[in-house]
Amino acid sequence: MSYQFNDQFNAYTQQFAAVAARVNRLALENAETVFGVQLRTFEKNVEATTAYLSELTEARDVESYKSLLPKGLQVARDNAERVAAAGQEVFGVTLKTSEALGALAKSQFEAATDQAQATVAKVAKAATKR
């Protein structure tokens, strides 16, 4: 009996370790993708803002400043749109990761249920033979 328990415990431990590694990998891939999206967005926003500020520092008269004001508003709007688009992309990536984790959990519950039903059937069969 002890041998069966140890064997079953080892199988559960290996299964748990495999699932934990897969969950860890999915979470790490999600974090990496999210960080990449946010970093690209930040880089684009910094480049656009730096280019605008460079033009602003080169302006020497009031007319130049007047022409640069609408451009500054456009840069700000473009930056905000990029941040919003990045947020949507991050949400989509996170949603896909959540779905993958849910599917993994569902498969583990189904496997555990099948295994429990097989054990119950085996015990019931052994009990009826007595």
Interaxial angle between packed helices 2-58 and 62-129, expressed in degrees from 0 to 180 and rounded to the nearest 10: 170
Classified as helix, coil or strand, 128 is helix
* pTM score: 0.74
pLDDT at 45 over 60: yes
pLDDT at 1 over 60: no
Domain residue ranges of the chain, discontinuous segments joined by +: 27-104
Q: If you average pLDDT over residues 67-71, what whole number do you get?
A: 91
Q: If you average pLDDT over residues 59-88, what whole number do you get?
A: 93
> pLDDT confidence of 5, banded at 50, 70, 90?
low
pLDDT at 94 over 80: yes
